[in-house]
Every structure is written in C-alpha cells, then in structure tokens.
C-alpha cells in the first residue's frame, strides 16, 4: 500500500485514526498501541503477506536479544558475544535477501564458478527496519537504552509512517512518546499540521516528482539500449532525475512526518533542502539525515572517526561512504556512487583544512554551485541500471557525443521551475517552523521575510492545504512507487 494511493488516503489512514482515537478516548492505552501495531502490520502485509513473517521474526528476535543485553547478571564478554550474534543474524538476513546474487556474481567472476540463488524478491523496507534494530541492539549493549514492553517495541519498529522508507528512528526518538497519555486524545492542532504536511508531501510526489520523471526516464532508458546521448539530452536527463529524486524523497519525508503527527507522534527531520548545501559535508547533513546519523554513530565513529590522524580519517570516510552506497543497493553503480561521495568528502576535508575561510556571498554561491554539480554527476550512477549506461549519460554530459539541439523545451521549463523551487523556496519545515519548536536545526536559519507568512491553523492555510490535497489527488492516475522503496 502506497501513501500516494486512494486506498491509503481515503481508506486505511482514516480507519487507523478513528480506531486509535476511539480506543484512546476510553483510556485503553495498551489496546490503542496494540491497534496501531496491528494497523502497521496490516499495512506492511498488504504488499506481500508472506514477508510479514520476516518482519515479525525480526521484531521478536531483536527484542529478545535486547532484553538479554539489558540483563545486569551477564558478564561483559558474554554480552559482547550476544551483541555479535544479534548483529550477525540481522546482517545475514539482509545479506541473503539483498546481496546474495550480487556477491555470488563477484565470486563467479573471480573463480569461474556458477553459483546462482535464483530469483530473490527483496522484502520491502528490510534495510530500514534492520538498521533501526541494529542501532537498538548497540544502544542496549552500551546501556544507553532498554525496552521491556514488547508492544511498544513492536510499534517502534513497525510504525507505518516511517516503516517503509524512514526516517531511521532511534529508540529514544519515539518510544517515550508512546507512553504519553496525550497522544490518545484527539488534538486539532496536530491534525491540522499533520494534514497540511502530508498534503504538501503528496503534492511534491505526484505533481512534481512524477511529472519530471517523464523527462528523466527516456534518457536513461535510451542509454541502457545503447543509444548515443547528446550534451543537452544528457544534462536534461540528469537534472530531471536529480529533481525527481529530490521531490520524491522530500515528498515521502513530509508525508511520513505528517501521517505520524496525525497520531500525535513527532518523527525526526530527515530532509532539509539539501540542494541549498554549500559543501558536500553540508549536503550529507541535510540529505537522508537519519541515515547519515546512523552511519556516523555506528560506523564512522567506531572505525575511529577523526581521532586517529588525518590519513585514517580519510580512510574512515571512504569506508563509511562505500558501505553507505552498498546499503542503497546491490550493484557496482551504488558502490561507485558511495565511493564517489567518499572522495568528495575527502577533497572537501582537504580543501577545508588548507584553504582560508572566505565569507562572501559570491564564494558561498560558487560553493553551492560546485556542490550541486558534483551531486548531479553522482546521481547518474545512482539512477543508471549498470555502469555502461551511466558512462553513456556521462559521456553525453561531457559533450563527447557532440552538442545537438534541445529536443524538448517542456523539459527545460520544468527543470528550471523546479530548480527555482529547490534553490529558493522555503521547505516544509520552514513553513511550519513556529509550530515545530523541537526542530531547531531546521528553523534556526529561517529568514525573517519567510516568517511573515508562517503556517498557522487558520482558514486561509486550511484552504491551501485542502487545495494541495485535492490537486494532488487528481494527479494520482497511477500509483508510482517512491524511489526509496527499492532500498
């Protein structure tokens, strides 16, 4: 079931809300939480019921390991082995379903073998709920968190607004909220801000992302079929995909935060205008923020971070980004995409260390442009189905196939318009900054001119939200999956 489907918007979501608040009205907190767990499991099972068993196993297994790690009677060495076993089991599951055939192909190429696991259907959201629970096990081992309530733990993992494509939430991000009695009571402010945020996200997805995709897909399809890509064709295709991915992921993040807010739950920010970044490090502080947090806290820092010298820091950056690329997909294009971003970060660190800081408007805009172009180039690897297709598009962008006339001026208009929105328009968090004081990292730089038209729960903003929802609903001609569903 997709957020951008009539079944979800007019069926599942209203029923889930009505049931939750109806139960909560009578003060049955455990039953209300149980209702949300059941609704979330139904939401996941709608896609492929047999894989619901995998999610249930993952929840039960990791909860049990977490309980063991929280025990005060176990020795330190035994706790290390339990943690190792828990992480190994999680990685084995994701390794089989997501990477088995990729690694088999590498072994076959190196050794001349013919290992083949057949067709393996990738379980929806396995990367997200696996990494989320690995973080929980590590935190339990560090004695930073513990959870003895199986129902709340189950909701922490399966809560449907963030289950499929994030954000990757920490245990402490949401479980304390499940214990607050106020979420059981209908709150008109939460409902208003939740519906507005959800509607804006839906609009981004079905109007912006799905429309600009019609200009990106033909270019990459042509490249995969061996067609020579021209200069303008390559750049229009790359920029169109850059914007498709931006509004697709931004839209999903808004819809996830909005849907959770309807239930009184506040999810962490996951997307904060990344194309406004002035460096590649700034980009990763703004793009998929909860994944960046996970990679930093559970991979980069344990590897040594920046504590063991500059060379080791560069190595740690490369390793972290290579594995981050592999997290996104089982293929050499994703590995190289991660490696390219690792190289970007190394160059940025070297530049930052050797170049005096220049605080001028032209320098910041130059840095923003360089960062954006570097990101666009990397997205070609991210989108292409194989290396040859990626190289075909990159050759075209470099002008190696000649410069031909522009084939579609409609594409140019859409690209320019959406670039203007991505570069200059306030994002959703900035619009609703006054209602989200907990998101200080998103709103501290909101310009004063933006504050003149901050969102407030009044009739004219209700009209804006309703208009966005109606227009977006009219664009749902076909249910296009979110790009991050494949991860």
Residue 470 pLDDT: 85
Tell me, yes or no, if 328 is annotated catalytic.
yes
CA–CA separation, 18 and 33 (whole Å): 13
CA–CA separation, 180 and 88 (whole Å): 34
Q: Is residue 424 packed enough to be buried (19+ CB in 10 Å), middle (13-18) or exposed (0-12)?
A: exposed
- Which are the contacts of 24, defined by CB distance < 8 A and separation ≥ 6? 32, 183, 184, 185
CA–CA separation, 124 and 41 (whole Å): 12
CA–CA separation, 456 and 463 (whole Å): 12
Distances from the Cα of 24 to the Cα of 10, 30, 34, 260, 269, angstroms: 22, 9, 11, 16, 27
What is the DSSP secondary structure assignment for residue 90, as one 8-state letter? H
Distances from the Cα of 22 to the Cα of 25, 43, 485, angstroms: 5, 20, 32
Domain residue limits, the chain: 6-185, 190-425+457-486
Q: Given 170, 171, 288, 328, which residue is catalytic? A: 328
CA–CA separation, 326 and 332 (whole Å): 8
Alpha helices in 329-358 (DSSP H): 332-354
Nearest to 378, CA basis, from 287, 252, 263: 287
pTM as predicted: 0.91
Distances from the Cα of 161 to the Cα of 53, 129, 461, angstroms: 20, 13, 24
Residue 436 pLDDT: 54
Q: Quickly count: other Cβ atoms within 10 Å of residue 196's Cβ.
A: 26
Residue 453 pLDDT: 63
Is the N-terminal amide bond of 359 cis, ω within 30° of 0? no
Sequence length of the chain is 487
Distance of CA 55 to the CA centre of its chain: 19
Q: What is the mean pLDDT of each run of 10 residues along the chain (487 residues)?
A: 87 95 87 95 90 94 91 82 94 91 88 84 87 92 82 93 86 87 86 90 93 94 93 95 95 93 91 93 93 90 86 92 91 94 94 81 89 96 94 94 84 95 87 57 46 69 81 78 76
């Amino acid at each position: 079931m997709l957020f951008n489907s009539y079944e979800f918007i007019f069926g599942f979501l209203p029923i889930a809300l009505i049931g939750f608040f109806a139960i909560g009205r009578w003060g049955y907190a455990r039953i209300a939480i149980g209702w949300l767990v059941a609704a979330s499991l139904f939401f996941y099972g709608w896609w492929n019921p047999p894989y619901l068993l995998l999610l249930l196993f993952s929840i039960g297994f990791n909860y049990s390991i977490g309980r063991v790690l929280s025990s005060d009677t176990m020795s330190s060495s035994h706790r290390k082995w339990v943690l190792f076993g828990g992480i190994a089991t999680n990685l084995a599951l994701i390794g089989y379903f997501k990477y088995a055939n990729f690694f088999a192909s590498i072994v076959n190429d190196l050794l001349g073998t013919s290992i083949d696991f057949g067709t393996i259907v990738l379980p929806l959201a396995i990367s997200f709920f696996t990494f989320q629970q690995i973080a929980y096990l590590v935190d339990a081992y560090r004695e930073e968190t513990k959870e003895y309530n199986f129902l709340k733990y189950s909701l922490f993992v399966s809560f449907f607004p963030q289950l499929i494509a994030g954000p990757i939430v920490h245990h402490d991000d949401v479980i304390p909220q499940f214990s607050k009695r106020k979420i059981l009571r209908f709150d008109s402010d939460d409902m208003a801000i939740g519906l507005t945020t959800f509607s804006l996200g839906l609009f981004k997805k079905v109007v912006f992302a799905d429309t600009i995709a019609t200009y990106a897909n033909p270019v990459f399809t042509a490249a995969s079929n061996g067609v020579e890509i021209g200069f303008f064709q390559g750049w229009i295709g790359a920029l169109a995909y850059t914007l498709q991915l931006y509004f697709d992921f931004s839209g999903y993040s808004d819809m996830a935060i909005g849907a959770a807010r309807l239930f009184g739950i506040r999810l962490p920010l996951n997307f904060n205008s990344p194309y406004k970044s002035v460096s590649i490090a700034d980009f990763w502080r703004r793009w998929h923020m909860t994944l960046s947090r996970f990679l930093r806290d559970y991979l980069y820092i344990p590897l040594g971070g920046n504590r063991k010298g500059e060379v080791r820091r560069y190595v740690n950056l490369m390793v972290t980004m290579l594995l981050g690329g592999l997290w996104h997909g089982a293929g050499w294009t994703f590995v190289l995409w991660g490696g390219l971003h690792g190289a970007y970060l190394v160059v940025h660190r070297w530049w930052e260390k050797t170049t005096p800081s220049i605080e001028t408007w032209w320098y910041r805009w130059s840095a923003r442009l360089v960062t954006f172009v570097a990101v666009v180039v990397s997205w070609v690897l991210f989108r292409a189905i194989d290396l040859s297709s990626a190289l075909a598009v990159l050759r075209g962008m470099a002008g190696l196939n000649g410069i031909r006339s522009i084939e579609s001026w409609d594409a140019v208009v859409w690209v320019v318009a959406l670039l203007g929105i991505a570069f200059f328009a306030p994002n959703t968090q900035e619009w609703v900054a006054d209602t989200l004081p907990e998101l200080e990292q998103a709103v501290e730089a909101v310009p004063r001119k933006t504050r003149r038209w901050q969102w407030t729960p009044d009739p004219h903003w209700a009209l804006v939200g309703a208009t966005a929802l109606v227009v977006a609903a009219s664009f749902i001609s076909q249910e296009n999956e979110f790009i991050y569903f494949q991860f």
